[in-house]
Amino acid sequence: MNFLIDNWIWIVTALVTGSMLFWPTLTQGGSDSISAQEAVTLINREKAVVIDVCEPAEFAAGHVTGARNIPVGSFSASAKGLPTNKALPLVLVCASGMRASRAAKTARSLGFERVVVLGGGMGSWRSAHLPIEKTA
């Protein structure tokens, strides 16, 4: 017991550090996150549908080539742009990955079988020097 009392600061530090390491896993919300290269493979080999859940102004400023825009606020069963084939993989994209994670939960509840989130969002796509479209 003296060990715990004498070294409480180290124990608290270990607990805080450990929780910081697991935080991304806990906040991911169960959605699978993939890299930009994995997303390209999924798009090319399995005809994945890319859905950008950013607001229209963000989408117009730059998005994954061929992506469809469905803002996270209007992501629902009645949203135009969702594929009718729910077996097709969906790659959800936003600026950082947070909104896409929320949309992934919704997509799964709508019955989509394969939903992934682009880890790091558009930042990771740009860092990989992959093509970006801009709309007027």
Residue 30 tokens read as 């169960």
H runs (alpha helix) in 29-78: 36-46, 56-61
Model confidence pLDDT, tens digit, residues 84-135: 999 999 999 999 989 999 999 999 999 999 999 999 999 999 999 999 999 8
**What is the spatial distance between Cα 114 and Cα 56, in angstroms, rounded to a whole number?**
25
List phi, psi (to 5°) of 16.
Answer: -65, -45
Q: Going by CATH, does the domain composed of 31-133 fall within 3.40.250.10?
A: yes
User: What residue ranges do the domains of the chain occupy?
Assistant: 1-26, 31-133
Model confidence pLDDT, tens digit, residues 41-84: 999 999 999 999 999 999 999 999 999 999 999 998 888 999 99
